[in-house]
Structure 1
Amino acid sequence: MHLTETAYAKINLALHVRRRREDGYHELETLFAFVDCGDVLTARRAEKDRLTTVGPFATALANPFDNIVTQALSALPRPDGLDVTLEKNLPVAAGLGGGSADAGAVFRMVRGAYGLPDDWRERAARLGADVPACVDSDMHIGLGTGAQRVEVENDMAGMAVLLVNPRVAVPTGPVFKAWDGADRGSLPDGPASAIARDGRNDLRQPAVKICPEIDTVLTSLSSTDPWMHEMSGSGATCFALYESAEIRDRAAQKLAAEHSDWWQMKGFLR
């Protein structure tokens, strides 16, 4: 048995923070979207679970026993172990849901090979608020902590995407802590394109205070003729959407020439 899954990069086309909750989480309204590229997980049947991490960002995952992939494996009953290799292509603490996407890929692997328990969404949510969304890896609205799913008309599938990160890790906790607490209103109505165009990311300003490089990335993306551009999640990765792959590729070349130290990845919305 040989299993392969892509851990699709998650981006928030809009992220509205409504209030702080008593449980320490925040009440969110977000439009989840997924790019057709990301980390890659491969697995084969083994006597016990095992994780090997490779790829350009493997060294950022210092403790394999604390890795969310290992936690996801432990959360799911199976008759066999899985020997998993994680090719870590996405930066860590980057607003792309990388760890959650990795866990989501494990759930899909196990679903394909063995099936999932009926309470898999609850098991996924215990690993992280974004994990259930990353198991689905399709465009939808997330409510509450992000785990409550609402369908949306996806009129953006196939749009060209450019992801850019200044290679600065921005942990989620401090960004949420720096949010000013102002409720600026709910997500707009309509299909995904209307929500993305008319929505906002309420975490952008607190993230920029922590990581000013985000503002530089957004300014650079704004000069590449994007359909829209924004920071994803709590940063520091920003994204731009383009009306064609050709425009996106020119943008990628321009930014690579101007900022050769920045990480970037090209793909298409799922």
Structure 2
Amino acid sequence: MTMRETARETAYAKINLALHVRRRREDGYHELETLFAFVDAGDELRAGPADADNLALTGEFAAQLSGGDGNIVLEALAALPHGGGWAVSLDKRLPVAAGLGGGSADAGAIFRMVERHHGLPEGWQALAARLGADVPACVASTACIGRGTGTELEPIANDLAGVPVLLVNPRVPLATGPVFRGWDGRDRGPMPTGDVRTIALDGRNDLEPSALALVPQVGEVLRVLGDTSPLLARMSGSGATCFALYESEAALAAAVDRLDRAHPQWWKLAGKLR
């Protein structure tokens, strides 16, 4: 079936409520235990029929991406049967190299679009994993536990769904590779068990020290967020974005106001956990 209408999809920002690094694997990757969660905002994608697949980029962070070969959106389309060509526009609202799974979220949105119009093929999970370790989780964009490199997913009921969340990035890109290479190799123990709230509050992010060594501004973001009386403040993924969870909309609004006045240069996104 050829797409006959304009499809729209949000690429929901991914955060890691907890990220435990257990060991370096012989293949060069790291064995992880992580709790994925997603914010109800992110990049915005539209797609319509075209003679061939193509991608147009707009938005605050568009200049940091290539719209040609090598873009994960086009790679996701190429990996999936989707009828005729698709003209995709991507409004890039999430910072790049920021620990929010931005590219993976964009690919996940493409998977959802294809699913809605054509259905996903058998084995789509493996196709998603080949695009990136976060992509399988980003397809559903609901809270889940990730193991292995993050591609082995387990469902979990999200008792933090609807909780207000603030994302803050100091506008310093931070590539994933150097952060993982800076991990000290010490296994600090498994991720806690229990519900999402328990895992988040009792868990940790083992990549924070490495990220701090590369981008000291992460520490300032965490300090400022910690002063806003959050339920939890932590770095997401490999950074440099940090998040804070709040018990109420009023507490979130107060935190946003405080940061807008004290640090207007930082990138911020307020929303709720999905």
The alignment's TM-score, normalised by the length of structure 1, stands at 0.99
User: When the two structures are aligned, how many residues end up with a matched partner?
Assistant: 270
Note the aligned Cα RMSD (angstroms).
Answer: 0.7
Task: Say if 2:137 is the partner of 1:133.
Answer: yes
Write the deviation string for residues 40-99 of structure 1: whole angstroms up to 9, x where unpaired: 000001111010000000001035321100111111112211100000000000000000
The 5-angstrom pairing of residues 144-223 of structure 1 reads 144-223=148-227
Write the deviation string for residues 188-208 of structure 1: whole angstroms up to 9, x where unpaired: 111000000000000000000
Residue type of the alignment partner of 2:8: T
Residue 73 (structure 2) aligned to one of 69, 79, 98: 69
Write the deviation string for residues 15-60 of structure 1: whole angstroms up to 9, x where unpaired: 0000011111100000000000000000001111010000000001
What's 1:3 paired with?
A: 7
2-structure distance, mates of 1:238, 1:206: 14
The alignment's TM-score, normalised by the length of structure 2, stands at 0.97
Residue type of the alignment partner of 2:249: A
2-structure distance, mates of 1:185, 1:174: 22
What's 1:142 paired with?
A: 146
Q: 3-state SS of the aligned residue for 1:174?
A: helix
Task: Say if 2:82 is the partner of 1:78.
Answer: yes
Gaps (5+ residues) in structure 1? none
Residue 247 (structure 1) aligned to one of 244, 251, 266: 251
The 5-angstrom pairing of residues 5-154 of structure 1 reads 5-154=9-158
What's 1:233 paired with?
A: 237
Q: Using a 3 Å threshold, how does the CA distance of structure 1 residues 28 and 217 change in structure 2: closer, same or farther?
A: same
Q: CA deviation at 1:148?
A: 0.4
2-structure distance, mates of 1:78, 1:100: 19
Residue type of the alignment partner of 1:180: D
Q: Tell me, yes or no, if the aligned pair for 2:33 and 2:191 is still in contact at 8 Å.
A: yes
1-structure distance, mates of 2:49, 2:161: 34
1-structure distance, mates of 2:117, 2:44: 17
The runs of at least 4 consecutive aligned structure 1 residues that moved more than 6 Å come to none
Write the deviation string for residues 160-191 of structure 1: whole angstroms up to 9, x where unpaired: 00000000000000000000000001011110
2-structure distance, mates of 1:143, 1:79: 33
Residue type of the alignment partner of 2:80: L
Gaps (5+ residues) in structure 2? none
Q: CA deviation at 1:209?
A: 0.2
2-structure distance, mates of 1:15, 1:103: 22
Q: 3-state SS of the aligned residue for 2:112?
A: helix
Residue type of the alignment partner of 1:197: L
Q: 3-state SS of the aligned residue for 1:65?
A: coil
Residue type of the alignment partner of 2:33: E
2-structure distance, mates of 1:90, 1:145: 23
1-structure distance, mates of 2:47, 2:66: 20
